[in-house]
Structure 1
Amino acid sequence: MSESLTTIEARRRESGDFLRSRRERLAPASVGLPNGFRRRTPGLRREEVAMLAGVGTTWYTWLEQGRDVRPSAEVLTALADTLKLDVTERRHLFILNDRPPPEIDTGDPDQVCEPLRRMLASLTQQPAYVVGKRWDVLAWNRAAAMLFGDYGKLQGDERNIMHLVFPNKAHRNLLVDWETVARMSLAMFRSDNARYAGDPDLERLVSALKKSSPEFRQWWQRHEVLRPLTGHKRIRHPEQGLMSFEHTSLSVSDDPNMKLVVYTPVETDGTIDKLAALLERAQADLTV
């Protein structure tokens, strides 16, 4: 109990110090206040931050002092706006105060940066791809194309993981344990996209999937949710037959809406040799 309390107190002190550092870096003029005279410390005064954020001066002073005042997410947002915190600083403030970090959605289309694309290409022995917030496949490597098919030939919703798992018969036939994979994928998709509930494009995608797949329509009504899981997937490849992989999903630090999904071949079913044969053929096709 004492260790837990010490941890909580340490986060409160860190939060107070962080707020003070950000308050002291702001010039009064940057928030529309006069510089005035007799400012013994740099930046804004505590009462000025409290006034701009719409909270009491005493309460804000306690917050900077690390007392047990437990600000709400709304108050933290007001403080972050007042102190002009960037995305990383805002997330830091929320974590220190034991609140779920806000999801920042710029509204821009998903863009995969060049370093991530180069890393994908370097995974020559591991099929891998990047998905965006709606689970569209945004980038992939040669090994993924050889295992799952060329994503470049797919357009719009066709390149969405849920569309591939449910209405796409060719992709569906690749999955040996289709029902288990499909139900788990749907539960993880639903959990992952709860924060975007009401998003018009997501709602349109779900509506289209309900019309095109009776299984999706039936299972969607069950509201099952799962966190992203590491596991095994068995693939029935049209050329190499049964293949087995470990798969894992990794968040992309520069964009929390993106995930890197990597499939690592295992010895089972001769998968490593079979994948090597596929990649050799791909290389041969390129040199023809």
Structure 2
Amino acid sequence: MATTSRSEFGDFLRSRREKISPAELGLKSGRRRRTPGLRREEVAELAGIGVDWYVRLEQGRTVSPSDATLDALASALRLGKAEAAHLRALARNGDHRGFAPESVPPVIERLIKSVNLPAYVTGRRWDILAWNAAAADVLGFDRLDASNRNILAFMFIETDSRRLFGRSWTDEARRMVALFRATHDLHAGDPAFIELVERVRAHSPEFKKWWNAHDIRGSTSGQKVLTHPERGAQRYEYATFQANDDPALKLSIYTPV
């Protein structure tokens, strides 16, 4: 694995190990534990691998785990589907293309502008690249400072996001952190991703806390309650679609329930 991927791989293993209670697995407490969660040797035993091998993985040293080892680690750490996929993606070195802002093909811009439902396009770093009038009305993207036209920055730097999500802001913001973490770790070390995370971290103690938890979620469709300044709260169903023109581009559409 490349250096940055090895580091994120090890950090992810450590974060999952520290979240598991020995009691959950029927392990005896034994001698006093100085750190939360399982010990390294316990994970190694559960996964059926050598302790030194596991320590090397957590320390980000040059090793290449096999698919069988990754499956064993996922089982030992009780990873969910999204977490196991993230572990495998990190082991495959992530995405080492240098980041450059994407451009939205004119046909996609015309498509979203022709839709009466809130719709917008984001890029690999979650930059908000294009949106229609309905998205501007409901989500307020027209009011964003150019430097904050990014979903993560919008959630944690722009104050309008708290008004928009109301009582559900905390749950939605935590979900966003876990979703973005899955993307970020595949681009670890890229200056553009580092700049964004550090800028958001400096503005939000909540983000800093949740970011350090290293939670991972997979992207899904669902429902959100959004509060319009004039029309009040309204429930929307939302779904996201990947563009064939450029897989980094994602189209999000909201439908009132």
TM bracket (short chain): 0.5 to 0.7
For 1:119 and 1:213, the matched residues in 2 are separated by 35
For 2:196 and 2:246, the matched residues in 1 are separated by 22
8 Å CA contact 1:164, 1:172 repeated in 2: no
Q: Which amino acid aligns with 1:128?
A: A
Matching of residue 167 in structure 1 with residue 157 in structure 2: yes
Question: By how many angstroms is 1:240 displaced?
Answer: 0.3
For 1:150 and 1:114, the matched residues in 2 are separated by 19
8 Å CA contact 1:128, 1:261 repeated in 2: yes
For 1:222 and 1:102, the matched residues in 2 are separated by 20
Question: By how many angstroms is 1:100 displaced?
Answer: 7.0
Matching of residue 115 in structure 1 with residue 119 in structure 2: no
Identify which of 101, 107, 130 aligns with 1:139.
Answer: 130
Report 1:176-191 matches (<5 A): 176=166, 177-191=168-182
SS of 1:232's equivalent?
strand
Q: Which amino acid aligns with 2:114?
A: S
Change in CA separation of 1:227 and 1:155 when aligned onto 2, cut-off 3 Å: same
Listed as ranges, the gaps of 5+ residues in structure 2 are 1-65, 67-90
Q: Which amino acid aligns with 2:153?
A: H
Matching of residue 256 in structure 1 with residue 239 in structure 2: no
For 1:207 and 1:102, the matched residues in 2 are separated by 20
Question: By how many angstroms is 1:105 displaced?
Answer: 3.8
Report 1:103-252 matches (<5 A): 105=97, 107-124=99-116, 126-151=117-142, 153-156=144-147, 158-176=148-166, 177-252=168-243
For 1:102 and 1:236, the matched residues in 2 are separated by 37
For 1:112 and 1:202, the matched residues in 2 are separated by 20
For 2:214 and 2:172, the matched residues in 1 are separated by 16
SS of 1:257's equivalent?
coil
Change in CA separation of 1:108 and 1:210 when aligned onto 2, cut-off 3 Å: closer
Listed as ranges, the gaps of 5+ residues in structure 1 are 1-71, 73-98, 267-288
Aligned to 1:78: none
SS of 1:239's equivalent?
coil
TM-score when normalising by structure 2 = 0.61
- Give the root-mean-square deviation of aligned CA atoms: 2.2
Question: By how many angstroms is 1:103 displaced?
Answer: 5.0
TM-score when normalising by structure 1 = 0.54
SS of 1:255's equivalent?
coil
SS of 2:101's equivalent?
coil
Paired-residue identity, %:
37
Q: Which amino acid aligns with 1:173?
A: R
8 Å CA contact 2:122, 2:130 repeated in 1: yes
8 Å CA contact 1:247, 1:264 repeated in 2: yes
Aligned pairs, number: 167
**Structure with larger Rg:** 1
Report 1:264-275 matches (<5 A): 264-266=255-257
For 1:152 and 1:178, the matched residues in 2 are separated by 19
1:127-167 Cα deviation digits (max 9, x unpaired): 010011111100001100010114365212x1111111112
Aligned to 1:272: none
Question: By how many angstroms is 1:254 displaced?
Answer: 1.5
8 Å CA contact 1:192, 1:227 repeated in 2: no
After TM superposition, which residue ranges in structure 1, 4 or more long, deviate above 6 angstroms?
A: 99-102
For 2:93 and 2:247, the matched residues in 1 are separated by 11
Q: Which amino acid aligns with 1:257?
A: A
Highest relative contact order (Cα 8 Å, sep 6+), 1 or 2?
2
